[in-house]
Structure 1
Amino acid sequence: GKKLHLNNQSQTRHATLKALAMGLTGASLEHEIRYRSAHTVNINSFHEILPDPANRLVLSRDHKDALGIPQPEITYDVGDYVRRSAALTHESYARIAQLMGGREVTFDDQFAPNNHITGSVIMGADPKASVVDGQCRTHDHENLYLATSGTMATCGTVNCTLTIAALSLRIADALKSAK
């Protein structure tokens, strides 16, 4: 899955950098910044990250902090699925720019974080491969529940707040029935 996002935020920074790179000064610089700011659109996208067991967070066996606590080791790759999606997105953006009469089209190939942190305390039935069970209870501590997006292997391209709320309600039901 993918979400295209038309961004109407001010493009003044990009317009200014481009105008300065052109060597403009004075009134010409101001005119170019105003023109580019009013005639620039930014489109970005969110690509769905597929679950990948190789993407993981583990405690280091070799590196400890000042208190002797193991530091986290993170292994992460967006994967070929996302790279292919990004290539197709470039084609879509080029077509959109053409339809809008765009004259300068640039692409940023960086993958920015979407701030939907998932997978650090993954849910599953096997304690060897997961941190919490289907009720969000940790396998190691029967009185510890985790209401977090970290229990999900991954999430789609939109905010996962409602899923976290649903998991919280599931925990509440489990605690209520445990009485």
Structure 2
Amino acid sequence: MLNFSFVIIFSFILVYQNIIILNEETLILVCFITFCFLIHNKLSKSVHSNFDDQSISIKISIESSLNLLLKELLTNIKVQSNYKGLATDFKNLGDHFLKLSFSFLDRVPLQFVKSHKKIYPKKLSFTSRLEKQTTKLIALLISHKLAKIVSLKKFYARNFKMNSFLCIDKVMLREYFGTI
């Protein structure tokens, strides 16, 4: 590097010859250059070591995240390979079930089949009638509950005379007139 005394002597010569004019800007520039030079000489090693430490920690972090990502991808590929033939396995299972059913039906005595042909239509008709009666019962229960709700609403509107109940009656009356 340059000798510091040589730089000072050279700068005095330049100032004495009026090549460099000493004013505020020049003094600030000299101070800034001196500051940068001293910072570079004194702190370069610590800044360099700090950057090295940060780069090592970032490298370790990236490597660990990439390793984790690689593990996840490998497990995903393994799962996909395990379930690759799932559709064909289900189709084969269905085919085997059909073969088993047909072989079982071939071995069932005809008398057993005939007796069940008489029983199943009766059970199915009973189930159908039961479903119809249940739907009728549910419809009756719902209409009964709705009638109770309407009567309670009328009771509250007449006896309590709350603004919200009266307002609802007026709105419903306007809607009714609107539909007429």
Shorter-chain TM-score bucket reads under 0.3
Of structures 1 and 2, the one with the larger relative CO (CA 8 A, separation 6+) is 1
Structure that is richer in helix per residue: 2
Which has the greater radius of gyration? Answer: 2
Structure that is richer in strand per residue: 1
TM-score normalised by structure 2 residue count: 0.19
TM-score normalised by structure 1 residue count: 0.19
